[in-house]
Amino acid sequence: MKLILTVNGEIHEVESIWEGESLMHVLRERLALPGAKNACEQGECGSCSVMLDEVLVCSCLVLARQAQERSVVTVEGLAPPDDVGVVQQAFIETGAVQCGFCTPGFIMATEDLLRRSPAPDDAEIREALAGNLCRCTGYEKILDAVRLASARLGAMG
């Protein structure tokens, strides 16, 4: 089948995809956007998180055909090339990135959280990130990153 979708503001036409392909597979293997990571492929770890029409989803659990004529934002689309967004920068500065395989998913979940709730308390942050697994950091620096991003975005108004 043929798939037409918007990814990071750009319209893509993808020819002859197999019907069982996930959105994650199409992003990674057909559109060369590996930012949605393939850690569990069953919606448990959040590493493949993207925004689908502004809803945070695990792209491994979305069939590519479900994204037909819809809009997807991946971690690659959060900032122009050679730049990083506030949340991304906060992850770098606080040491929230180690192996980094979980990082794009955490960044997407944080973007989603801060859009809904710009000044979350710790309990709210923990609940918002509870669908994402990290094996390296013990989460402490990730919490620091979210707090820092929230404070900076608040200061920027």
Partner 1 sequence: MSTSGTRVLPLGRIGESVLRADGRPKVRGEFAYASDLGADRMLWGATLRSPHPSARIRGIDITRALTLSGVHAVLTHADVPGRTTYGMEISDQPVLAIDRVRYEGEPVAIVAADHPETARRAIERIVVDYLPEDPLTDPERAIMPGAPRLHPGGNLLRRVTIRHGDPGATAEVVVRGEYAVGMQDQAFLGPEAALAVPAEDGGIDLHVATQWLHVDQGQVAACLGLPPSLTRLHLSGVGGAFGGREDLSMQVHVAMLALHTGRPVKMVYSREESFFGHVHRHPARMEYEHGADRDGRLVYVRARVVLDGGAYASSSTAVVANAATFACGPYDVPNAEVEAIVTYTNNPPCGAMRGFGAVQVAFGHESQMDRLAAELALDPIEIRLRNALATGMRLPTGQLVDGPAPVRELLEGLRDMPLPPDVVPVDPREFPGGVSNSTHGEGTRRGVGVAVGFKNIAFAEGFDDYSTARVRISRDDGGPLVEIHTAAAEVGQGLETVLAQIARTELSLERVRVLPADTQVGSAGSTSASRQTWMTGGAVQLACARLRERLHEAIDGPIEETAVYRHRPTQALDPDTGQGDSLVALAFAAHRAVCDVDVELGIVRAVEIATTQDVGRVMNPLALEGQIHGGIAQGLGLALMEEIQMEEGRVRNASFTDYLMPTVLDMPQVRMRISETPHPHAPYGLNGVGEMPTIASTPAIVAAVRDASGRPLTRVPLRPSDIAGV
Residues that bind partner 1 (CB under 8 A): 18, 20-21, 25, 28-29, 32-42, 44-45, 47, 74-76, 78-80, 83-89, 91-95, 97-104, 107, 123, 125-127, 129-143, 153
CB 119 → partner 1: shortest distance, Å? 16
Report yes or no: 148 and 140 within 8 Å, Cβ to Cβ.
no
Q: Which is nearer to partner 1, 5 or 97 (CB)?
A: 97
CB 40 → partner 1: shortest distance, Å? 4
Q: Which is nearer to partner 1, 21 or 70 (CB)?
A: 21
CB 70 → partner 1: shortest distance, Å? 20
Q: What are phi and psi of 53, to 5 degrees?
A: 45, 50
Kindly write down the DSSP assignment for every residue of 88-109, as one continuous string.
HHHHHHTT--SS-SSHHHHHHH
Q: How far is C-alpha 1 from the geometric centre of its chain's CA atoms?
A: 26
| Range 18-37 burial, b when 16+ CB lie within 10 A, else e | eeebbbbbbbbebbebebbb
Q: Which is nearer to partner 1, 69 or 151 (CB)?
A: 151
CB 128 → partner 1: shortest distance, Å? 9
Q: Which is nearer to partner 1, 70 or 152 (CB)?
A: 152
Q: Which is nearer to partner 1, 43 or 71 (CB)?
A: 43
Query: Side-chain half-sphere of 18: how many Cα atoms within 13 Å?
Result: 5
With H, G, I as helix, E, B as strand and everything else as coil, classify residue 4. strand
CB 15 → partner 1: shortest distance, Å? 14
Kindly write down the DSSP assignment for every residue of 49-63, as one continuous string.
EEEETTEEEEGGGSB
